[in-house]
A and B are shown apart, each in its own frame.
Chain A
Amino acid sequence: MPLSHTWALAVLDSITEGVLAVDQQWRITYFNRAAERITGLQGSEVVGQPCWEVLRSNLCDNSCPLAATLKQGQEVKQRIAYIVTAEGRQKPICLSTALVQDEKGHILGGVELFRHLEPPSSQAPSAYQTVQMGEMVSCTPRMQQLFQLLPRVAESESAVLLQGESGTGKELVARALHQYSRRRQGPFVAVNCGAIPDNLLEAEFFGYKAGAFTDARRNKPGRFAQAHGGTLFLDEIGDISPALQLRLLRVLQEQQYEPLGATQTEQADVRIIAATHRDLAAEVAQGGFREDLYYRLNVVRLQLPPLRERPEDIPLLTERLLLRLQRRTGRRVEGVLPETLKILKQYSWPGNIRELENALEHAMVLCDGQWLAPEHLPSGLQPHGSPVAAPQDQTLAQVEKAHILKVLAEQQGNRSRAARVLGIHKTTLLRKLKAFQL
């Protein structure tokens, strides 16, 4: 009994593979429900459209499988590709094509079957939407709350104190605050207070006039002068000496300063953003930091979470950092393997995003392929313990035996070399082989 048209369509709509049919002019004539689900497009909006404008896969303009089928009659089977959704997401698919012919063998068009290759669970997209602020990006609610605050904080002229561990992106937050502020046309000057010798800090901050001291042959503007009309970012503010704390306090109170050797005061038209990895409140309690300066700086305080408290951001940050590294090094990699990402997500990242960037750069240097594997990561990130996959129901002896066998196989049965790889004496290896009856 021949199938009715309705029945045939119902069957096509019930299968899990996407089905897309085109005529000989590459116009879509049929688009089933699974195809709608995979592409995120409605059949009604794509029927009659050229297939390349609907699928926009990486094969469309150079090696279209449907073209090979329609022009040469070749069926394409299980080809891996990716399509790009309206949101810009790459969706990996596996596709096959076939000719559509009538009873007499006349070619009517082609059909493409495709299924979405689900990403490994470790790379599953976050439940939260990605939000970008300046050069920062996050998909975690905690960072996104911070992002929401930034424009309002930026609008004010109040001093801001950024607290967070080293490498959490304090300078990026400061830059974002500058970019969103009324001072954005002015300069953004960053000073790492911890990197400047204490005896030079004053000259560095306030500058000096010619003749102020030996070798001061000409006027040198300080960072306050350089940041005039803009933002002065004082990183590691907790590291400055008590004497400079006092000078800084006076500038913040009076909005004026005197360069070394100057006879006149100068106006300080800067917005101060300070940052520290220290607990300044505790430093104040212990007498290491001036209380009055602390309150001058701590008008608005923003706390940046460490990376270990937002592991959901690691895949996203990894992707972004790889992009940046590719630009810097000219080296190209496709990405990280799921097992590499798993290690990255499990690590505690005491150095935060800076450490993540360094680890990825290390991996890119060692990687000679397209995908960063666990062995390319710095040794400190490698999971501890035996490299042998050890199911929980195995005894130590069984794991040891399996590892010895693996190393022996890798060394083509050469026991001397295997003993060296295992880090034991050859006689110890022979004793173990005898014990394991190998």
Chain B
Amino acid sequence: MYVAVTVWQGRVAPLFDTARWLWLYEAQSGMWWQQLQLPGGAPAVKADFLQNWPLVLLVCGAISEPYAWALQEVQLPYAAFMRGNADEVVAAYRHGSLEHPCWYLPGCGRHRHRRRQRRRGWRE
């Protein structure tokens, strides 16, 4: 199982909609595993691509509603409106401190329900 982060210059990409790269980390060890190129295009295309990977969590930056809905449709767990160095974000996730305001994009920490989870079959 993996934690995925959409990245840009080693940091969480500012916008999921246009993010081109994905880094996968082993969920248990937190070790960087590999880089994948995300497909462009329709929200559903991106969501379908991500659905093919065994992800415990997708960490991304801002996400617009069509893309968020697409992730929800495939029941992909994600934490959106996040920022920071990708390695550090994954470390924070493993230490259970990803909810700290420092990991949220400006103006987004005050909003709740950032993390969505699979209705079935997912345990953090």
Contacts and interface: CB of A to CB of B under 8 A. Distances in A.
Given A53-B83, A61-B20, A86-B111, A46 B106 contact: yes
A17 B110 CA distance: 26
Contact of A62 (B20, B65, B69, B108): B20
A56 B20 contact: no
Nearest to B111: A86
A130 B95 CA distance: 34
A90 B17 CA distance: 10
Contacts of A326: 42-45
A48 to B, nearest CB: 10
A56 B62 contact: yes
A52 B18 CA distance: 13
Contacts of A40: 107
Contacts of B68: 88
Nearest to A319: B66
Contacts, number: 92
Nearest to B41: A332
Nearest to B13: A61
A326 B19 CA distance: 20
Q: What range describes how many residues of A lie at the interface? A: 20 to 34
Interface string A240-259: 00000000000000000000
B64 to A, nearest CB: 5
A26 B65 CA distance: 27
Contacts of A54: 105-106
A158 interface: no
B20 to A, nearest CB: 7
A323 B43 contact: yes
A76 interface: no
Interface string B107-123: 11011000000010000
B106 A61 contact: no
B73 interface: yes
Contacts of B42: 323, 326-327, 332
B63 interface: yes
Contacts of A49: 106
B65 A58 contact: no
A89 B65 contact: yes
A188 B63 CA distance: 33
B15 A57 contact: yes
A397 to B, nearest CB: 48
A179 B20 CA distance: 35
A87 B111 contact: yes
A45 interface: yes
A84 B63 CA distance: 7
B98 interface: no
Contacts of A86: 81, 105, 107-108, 110-111
7 contacts: A41-B107, A56-B62, A60-B15, A61-B15, A62-B20, A86-B81, A319-B66
